[in-house]
Amino acid sequence: MKKNFINKKSKLSLLFIVFSIFTIFGCTPENNQSTFGTAGPIASSQADLFILIFAIAVVVFIAVEAALIYISIKFRRREGDKLPYQTHGNKKLEITWTIIPAVILIFVAVPTLVGIWSQQNGVPDDKGQVLNIEAVGHQWWFEFRYSDYEVITSNELHIPKGRPVSFKLSSQDVIHSFWVPKLAGKVDMVPLNDNYIWMIADEVGEFYGQCAEFCGTSHAHMRFRVFVHEEEDFLAWVDQMHTPADPPMPNTPESRGQMLFAANCSMCHTNNSTTPGSYIMEINTQDARWNNWVDDTENSALVSAPNLTHFGTHTTLGSGIKELNHENLVEWIADPSTIKQGTRMQKQAMVYNTRDGKANLTDSEISDIAYYLLSLKPGSGAEMVIDDIPSDGLIDAEAVFATNCAACHSLGNDVIVGPGMGGIKDRAGDRVSGLSAYEYIYESIVEPQAYIVEGYPPVMPAWASLGDETVNALVEYLLTLE
């Protein structure tokens, strides 16, 4: 009997208690997602409220437990005791133990309600110039739109220290929750019903964000980072976001990566939202991609996706999961689900339409794309002249098409993302009066956004970077298609 004193259940309970104690170590203020090491007034007022309520609870706990222990010992049944005198209804006692909890609840409720009201009322107008950001939740990443500055980022948020930041929260698919534990509480991101939250960061630094509402397979992997800068550094960052990246030097991994990116990734990922007008265009494009996916979730080759402008300046990939470096990026591109289960990228993009779901690219192609993405940083601001690459006059337009265009355009009449190219010479001449078929096709390649045909999503990137000679060869080739 004594041998089995610590039976299986007791062992499990003991294990559970030890485990629970260890999880408490996650609450240390230094932990990245601890709500105790606060760095802003909203987070600290919430932490203060927690500590106040916790202190009241501790006092109640000690008083009740002490009384319980004292009474159990003092009035325990002794040998020879008779049944005590039985009573019912003691008015004094009942009034006392109704009033005491009511008073305790008042002490809890008043500061709680004051806190809720002050935080729900929007940004107070005495705290400085408000920065407005729209945060959009997607399965499973965050999009940030800076309407004041026409900047779009994904998964990495930059804000100035000391200035109130007002967030309009929405979701494109399911309910998510926006949470930066050290800066502010959490508020749900609900589709078709905008919510608001504001925060002020008191310290420069890097802070963790996390989706706090179960939203599907990769909910736990839906994170983001907040970088708090001094005001002038923040404004410099905004400036950088409006400075285009330098185009890659010809015949480098980056330049090959650029072509591969354009052919395989650019239908869903914009990576050049630096110019005037690119902000609103990206929002429209993102909506178009989304609607395309909603219309046919099984077969759509498009879906809204993180904006990769100046991706090379990011510190993480896969929405805050892994450090951004070449090795991790290669792993991510080759087979995203090794890092994050269930990405729409792997499910929808043509390039993953393979038997094993891995990218239909060679190791060196994946490496080139990764080098290209890592090279996306604010450039010198100087215009660079792009050479027409082949100088022997022989451009294999069919190969150019296969590499750069075939992911979206078939050679016949099938619609992949954009229209099929079969018989284009017969219809291109009638599209825009004053433009011949040749001119129309040429213009549609170098400046596609001006010539989107009704019914197609405005997602085609500009291909001027192919160079004049190559584009001309491509046009001639397209005009031969029956």
Please provide the DSSP assignment of 307-338 as one string. --TTGGG-SEETTTTEE-SHHHHHHHHH-GGG
Residue from 123, 152, 222, 374 binding ligand CUA (CB under 6 A): 222
Between 161 and 180, how does the x/- string for binding to ligand CUA read (CB under 6 A)? ---------------x----
Alpha-carbon distance values, 34 to 29, 37, 107, 158, 204 (Å): 6, 6, 25, 20, 17
For residue 143, state whether it binds ligand CUA (rule: CB under 6 A): no
- For position 211 contacting ligand CUA by CB under 6 A, the verdict is yes
Q: At what angle do helices 363-374 and 253-264 cross, to 10 degrees?
A: 100
Of 177, 166, 140, 165, residue with least CA distance to 155: 140
| Smaller CB separation from ligand CUA, 279 or 293 | 293
CA–CA distance, 440 with 430 (Å, rounded to integer):
9
The residue count for binding ligand CUA (CB under 6 A) is: 9
Kindly tell me which of 173 and 254 has the beta carbon lying closer to ligand CUA. 173
Q: How far is CA 185 from CA 85, 177, 200, 356, in A?
A: 53, 10, 12, 41
Minimum Å distance from CB 468 to ligand CUA? 46
Least distance CB 192 / ligand CUA (angstroms): 16
C-alpha pair distances (Å), 329 with each of 35, 110, 153, 339, 367: 31, 50, 18, 10, 8
Q: Applying CB under 6 A, does 242 fall inside the site for ligand CUA?
A: no
Which lies closer to ligand CUA via its Cβ, residue 138 or residue 310? 138
Q: How far is the CB of 227 from ligand CUA (least distance, A)?
A: 21
Q: Which of 150, 156, 213, 254 binds ligand CUA (CB under 6 A)?
A: 213
Contact between 44 and 200 under an 8 Å Cβ cutoff? The reply is no
Minimum distance, C-beta of residue 342 to ligand CUA, in the bound complex (Å): 12
Q: 56-60: which pairs have CB atoms within 8 A and are 24 or more residues apart?
A: 56/104, 56/107, 56/108, 60/104
Which of 215/473 has CB closer to ligand CUA?
215
Task: Give the Cα separation of 438 and 444 in Å (integer).
Answer: 10
Whose Cβ is closer to ligand CUA: residue 178's or residue 293's? 178
Q: Is position 340 an interface residue for ligand CUA (rule: CB under 6 A)?
A: no
| 27 contact partners, CB below 8 Å, separation of at least 6 | 34, 36
Beta bridge partners of 142: 137
Candidate segments 63-71, 96-104, 206-214, 295-303, binder of ligand CUA by CB under 6 A: 206-214
**Which of 37, 40, 41, 137 contacts ligand CUA by CB under 6 A?**
137
Give phi and psi for 156, each to the nearest 5: -130, 120
- Closer CB to ligand CUA, 172 or 444, in the complex: 172
- Residue span binding ligand CUA (CB under 6 A) among the ranges 94-102, 207-215, 235-243, 358-366: 207-215
Residue 432 beta carbon to ligand CUA: minimum distance, rounded to whole angstroms: 44
Residues in the chain: 482
Angle between helices 326-334 and 363-374 (to 10 degrees): 130
CB of 345 to ligand CUA, least distance (A): 16
Considering only 213-221, 290-298, 400-408, 454-462, which stretch makes contact with ligand CUA by CB under 6 A?
A: 213-221
Indicate whether 135 belongs to the interface with ligand CUA (CB under 6 A).
no
Token representation of residue 6? 């610590």
DSSP string, 247-280: PPPTTSHHHHHHHHHHHHTTTT----TTSTTHHH
Residue 86 to residues 25, 208, 226: CA-CA distances in angstroms?
48, 60, 64
Q: Per CB under 6 A, does 215 bind ligand CUA? A: yes
Of 219 and 242, nearer to ligand CUA (C-beta) is 219
Q: Which of residues 64-93 bind ligand CUA (CB under 6 A)?
A: none
Q: Indicate whether 219 belongs to the interface with ligand CUA (CB under 6 A).
A: yes
The smaller minimum CB distance to ligand CUA, of residues 154 and 271, is found at 154
Task: State the nearest-atom distance from the C-beta of 339 to ligand CUA, in Å.
Answer: 17
Sign of the dihedral through C-alpha 251, 253, 254, 258: positive
Residues that bind ligand CUA (CB under 6 A): 137, 140, 176, 211, 213-215, 219, 222
